[in-house]
Amino acid sequence: MSAAADPAIRRLRIEGMTCATCATRVEKVLRRVPGVDGASVNLANEVATIAAPPEVELPALVAAVERAGFGAALAEDSEDALRARHARDAERDRHERRLLWLAGTLTAPLVAPMLAMPFGEHWMLPGWVQLLLATPVQVFVGWRFLRGAVAALRARSANMDVLVSLGTWSAYLLSLALWWQGQPHLYFEGSASVITLVLLGKHLETRAKRSTAAAIEALMALRPTRARVRRGEREVELPAEAVAVGEIVIVLPGEQIPVDGRVAVGESAVDAALVTGESMPQPVAVGDNVPAGAVNGDGRLELETVAVGDEATVGRILRMVEAAQGSRAPIQALVDRVAAVFVPVVMLAALATLVGWWLAGVGFETALVHAVSVLVIACPCALGLATPAALMVGTGVAARHGILVRDAEALEHAAALDIVVFDKTGTLTEGKPSLAAILLPPDDDTLDEAGALGLAAALQRGSEHPLGRALVAAAQARGVATPAASGWRAAVGRGIEAQVEGRALRVGSPRWLEEQGARLGALAPALQRAEAGGATVVLLAEARPDAPVLAAFALADAPRPESAEGIATLKGLGIGTVLLSGDHVAAAEAVGRVLGVDRVLAGVRPDEKAAEIERLRVEGARVAMVGDGVNDAPALAAADVGFAMATGTDAAMGAAGVTLMRPDPRAVADAIDIARATRAKIRAGLFWAFAYNVVGIPLAAAGLLTPMLAGAAMAASSVSVVGNALLLRRWRRPRAQEEHPHG
């Protein structure tokens, strides 16, 4: 899907990776393919994301991965591909369980004497029995590690397979030599138990990693496969992807909506909780938009198809979630540098341990056992999994709550925010202003209310600005005739000038008209009262210097019911709030007082919004911008993180790092809290991964760990890191005015 959406992006599913070193190796070979602009490999979901023009063919990418010793195939996410992948995964799991059962059955008698020693039992299996038990584990079960090690070494790399193979074969061959010499003390249990425990750890890790991908699969399950379409006089059932834009789709009560559509006939309530995170079903009527994947309530709906498949809401959500999960967090750069040198450093540490103990006079076999413990306990897997596992779970949790994160960098920046700046109209308010009053100059009776409204509506006809639409809607509701207009010239976000009935007129903000020379005259006191009451005022005047204002229109835009709670929740998270509006000071401050915003910046032109954001950043604050309109796009791009309402314009969403699928300011606080929780899990995972190796390797080198214990510790490290990331799925929405520990 992603590849279809953007021909410059390819996604390959990689097989055979065992640790962070493998992921780094795959990235390097993909970047060396001529024409490739960049490549990123996610160890947690085993997917490589490659940026390359269409002329870079898929076989060249696959061949490069295969030369490095790994398998590769196009990462498809259609329903059929998903089912096929599940079938392959299930078969692989069965094979892994059979191998694990075989290894465990053969290893148990080898370790039984060691487990019995603390209870005063001292006995040992004959050497030939140990050999018979250990050999199938080493050769048959452990073949996968040897194969991976050989492939890595051929590619002039070293990974976890090299460490496991070198350690277990050293212990096995040493035991074989000692048995041949008739020595009673052998180390077959060490080699067999390490392979068994590592295999157990990889099996548990794989199951846990699949849990991190649950969000993607849950979103895929939202895509309906069938649609009921009206064709002529008949209703026919088709595959959902076969529906064309503009066709009428019939949705019966209780059915899942198969396409993004606009209600053409009918009324109902639509439950879009799984798509937008909106907790309650929302009423819909003719003209309302509904997303694919939502569930229809108790009314029959006929929808005009707006988007299908990859271009529908669920498809766009999937693209963004996949992109975020495949992206690389800035903190991952440190892990990559460590992973690049980790295995060679561990091999040198093992060699130093062998030489050191041998020179200390403990004997070659004891020195070798200590060196094997060093090889076995070192695990680059935990390091490689800490960041991508937490990112996958965090972005999945966000998606389930209607929050789409564009990439890992946006998530990391969101976790460190100090200030959130909100646009007013359509973000903190409903964005549907209505005409509250028409104000006429007391000393001029040339226009009545209907005439003034008709002229203003004529200028605003076709306008996408909420205030302009409100004037047109008011004229239609009152049955006011709107004369024809021509020669429109727009000052974006400020007003419009046009010819109406031979008169050059302007309609727009008071600031703009005053800049053009319009005079308020006797209207000034009435305007001040309207603005003090929180109304937004639009003026109508002749388009000439020093022209008197003909009429003023007071429009009211009610705050969203959730806005005050969203502002209060941000305060509870320790984040400052700013209201940034092009509206006049009195109206913006009235809304700010009602909602409890810390600071109001009013009268800011669209081209000045980005400068205001930059000024806050220069002061040292890490700033987010929340908006929904075209005029918000520069400010969204200028902020450390931009939050765009999905109900807004494509320009706003394109400039933002986070898209909110529901027009709810509380979702901003949700996104920041999820980002903080994800950052905390990344840091915790990396801390324990580093701490495990910093503590474990010296203990093994000091002879305080047997190979069996080292193998158990290595297996536990990866599982614990992924398990720590999975705890993110318990995230719950923060409450207003509540302090949170994340960060």
- Which residues are catalytic, by number? 423
Structure tokens at 27: 């990235």
Tokens for 48, please give them. 């490589």
How many CA atoms are closer than 13 Å to the CA of 714, on its beta-carbon side? 35
Alpha helices, DSSP H, located in 360-448 = 364-377, 380-400, 408-414
What are the percentages of helix, strand and coil residues in the chain, rounded to 5? 55, 20, 30
Distance from the Cα of residue 551 to its chain's centroid: 49
User: What's the rounded Cα separation, in Å, for the pair 630 and 625?
Assistant: 13
Q: Which residues of 522-537 are buried (b: 16+ CB within 10 A; e: fewer)?
A: ebeebbeebbeebbbb
CB atoms within 10 A of CB 374: 30
* Number of residues that make up the chain: 743
- CA–CA distance, 566 with 309 (Å, rounded to integer): 33
Nearest to 661 by CA among 92, 277, 261: 277
HSE-up (13 A, CA, CB side) for residue 361: 0
User: Distance between CA 609 and CA 601 in Å, rounded?
Assistant: 10
Joined together, the tokens standing for residue 474 give 């008011």
Q: At what angle do helices 332-359 and 364-377 cross, to 10 degrees?
A: 170
Q: Quick one: how far is CA 333 from the chain centroid?
A: 19
Contact 308, 260 (CB under 8 A): yes
Q: Rounded to 5 degrees, what are φ and ψ at 90? A: -65, -40
